[in-house]
Amino acid sequence: MSDSTKVRSDTADQTQAGVTRASVLPVAEIVTLYAASILAALVVSALLVEITGGSWRTVFSALLDGSIRNPGRWGTTIGTAIPLLLVALGTIVNAKAGLVNIGQEGQLLVGGAFGAYVMIHLDAPGTVVFVALVAAAIVGGAVWAGIAAVLRYWRNVPEVLTTLLLVSVAAQLVGFGFKRESILLAPLPEGSATQVQQTVPVPEGARLSRVTVLGNEFPISAFVALALAAFLAFVLARTVWGFRLRMLGRNPRTAHRAGVSSQRYGIVAMLISGAFAGLAGAFMLTGGDFGSYRFSPNFAVNIGWTGLLVALVARERALFAIVIAFVFAGLRTGSGFLASTGVERRITDVVQALLVLALLVPPAVLFVRERRRAASATRART
């Protein structure tokens, strides 16, 4: 061990090696860049509100009320953040493997549909129904992502496009399920003339229990999601599997030589990614914050897309995704309070997308700068 400390002090003095730790992290610069980018996104959003006759102050205030300030609201925001976080975690897995999955909206919907189907047709005690529902949803999401993965490795079809196209197919598949009572559709309630496209509600015993903290209520799946985030962060950073997955994503040829099968790891990564989306669907169905325990054709309500954006902002860091999921969930729950301001609630979609775009800028700038610095210092004489 004394040997190793010697090495460290030696190498620390090697300015010739080019990059020292300090030059990699110009902290003030990074903070300024991020702050400026976020500010720019917010200013553009505020301008949009003002142009369409709204007031950004009232909008901001309403968003704050709806997301955290009013009684019980942050509980609702947590409830919304759960599926966002789960979708984001799945996205991190496929991104680490160097694959692009942007069809979580469809995977979540199919997962929800699988879960709902099992829930409707399984006559069993609540707990059993719950477990079967979750398992089915996981399978559903995984299958939907798996199609894209298999086509990628078997037929060379870009998964970025397949996952997208499968979102549209998923919507129609679910729509078909609501054509028949034998699949998803709830029987016509007595005395009612209009058929609503939805399932029967999840039976009481198969619902997630909800906890109340300081007057805020949310389902216990929140803890599951947090645990999964921590577990995933650990798996990716510290296990052999996570190590090999990252290797594959960063340099597939080196990984192949080192014994990582791109097919095996890639397909598994996509299955996991879809499974997370399916799990998000299962928790939405049983959690109570979405669709009052019923599955319906527009069940996914953009949670897949937004969860994807969470992952993009979190940049492959599972623990950071927790924070972003909460922020984006807040924008969503806050938007429910916008009706009184006269501003169309979809402004929050715009804000989210603008934030994503703005947050692309600082890492890109820093990446180029860092690498250039390293490249010029190390290749100076070639």
Partner 1 sequence: MTDGLLAGTGVTAPVPAVSLEGITKRFGAIVACDAVDLDLHRGRIHGVLGENGAGKSTLMKMMIGLVFPDDGAIFVDGIRCYITDPQVAAGHGIAMVHQHFSLVDPLTVWENIALGDGGRLDPGDVRERVGEISEHYGLAIDPDARVGDLPAGLRQRVEIIKCLRRDPDILIFDEPTSVLTPEESVQLFDSLRRVVTDEGRAVALVSHKLDEIIQATDDVTIMRQGVVVDRLRTVDADTPMLARSMVGRPVSLRSERAAFGVLDPSVEGPDEPAAPITAEEPVLRVVDAVVHGRHGQASLDGFSLDVRPGEIVGVAGVEDNGQAELADVLSSLVTLQRGHVEVDATTVAAGRPGAMARAGVAVIPADRHDSGIVLDMTVAENLILVDPKRMARAGVLDSDLVRNLALRLIDEFEIQCWGPDAPLWSLSGGNQQRVVLARELSHQPKVLVAAQPTRGLDVGAIEYMTERLRRAAEDGVGVVLISSELEEILDLSHRIVVMSRGRVIGEMGRADVDRDRLALMLGGRAA
Partner 2 sequence: MSSFVGAIGDVLSSDAAYISAISFAALLGFGAVGEWVAEKSGTLNISIEAMLLAGAFAAAVGYDLTSNLAVGAVFGIVAGMAVASAQAELSHRLPADQFVVGLALNILVLGLAGFLDGELEPVTRRAPRVEIPLLSDIPLVGDAFFGQPWLLYLVYAFVPMAWWLVYRTRWGLEVRAAGENPQSADVSGIRVNLRRRQSIYVAGLTSGLGGAYLSLALVGSFEDSIVGGRGFIAIAAVIFGGWTLRGTVAGCLLFGSVLSFRLSLPVLGYNLNNELLTSLPFIATIVGMALFAHRVRPPAALARPFIRGLQ
Task: Give 24-27 contacts, CB < 8 A, sequence gap 24+.
Answer: 24/370
Q: Which is nearer to partner 2, 178 or 293 (CB)?
A: 178
CB count in 10 Å sphere of residue 35: 11
Q: Which is nearer to partner 2, 275 or 354 (CB)?
A: 354
Window of 19-27, 37-45, 144-152, 312-320 that interacts with partner 1 by CB under 8 A: 19-27
Three-state DSSP class for residue 301: coil
Binding-site partner at residue 277 among partner 2, partner 1, none, CB < 5 to 8 Å by type? none
Centroid of chain to Cα 348: 17
- Shortest Å, Cβ 372 to partner 1: 10
Question: Which residue in 4, 156, 182, 194 binds partner 1 (CB under 8 A)?
Answer: 4
Binding-site partner at residue 251 among partner 2, partner 1, none, CB < 5 to 8 Å by type? partner 1
* Chain residues in the site for partner 2 (CB under 8 A): 48, 52, 100, 102, 151, 154-158, 160-162, 164-169, 171-173, 175-176, 179, 305, 308-309, 312, 344, 346-350, 352-354, 356-357, 360-361, 363-365, 367-368, 371-372, 375-376
Three-state DSSP class for residue 217: strand
Question: Which residue in 57, 256, 346, 369 binds partner 1 (CB under 8 A)?
Answer: 256
Residue 205: left (phi > 0), alpha (psi -120 to 50), or beta?
alpha
Window of 161-169, 221-229, 244-252, 324-332 that interacts with partner 1 by CB under 8 A: 244-252
48: contact with partner 1 by CB under 8 A: no
Question: Which residue in 8, 28, 51, 123 binds partner 1 (CB under 8 A)?
Answer: 8
- CA–CA gap between residue 260 and residue 241 (Å, rounded): 10
246: contact with partner 1 by CB under 8 A: yes
63, 53 in Cβ contact below 8 A? no
Q: Which of 70, 88, 81, 84 is nearest to 326 (CA)?
A: 81
- φ, ψ dihedrals at 251, nearest 5°: -155, 90
- CA–CA gap between residue 120 and residue 116 (Å, rounded): 6
Three-state DSSP class for residue 216: strand
Q: Which residues bind partner 1 (CB under 8 A)?
A: 1, 3-4, 6-8, 11-12, 14-21, 24, 238-241, 243-244, 246-247, 250-251, 253-262, 371, 373-382
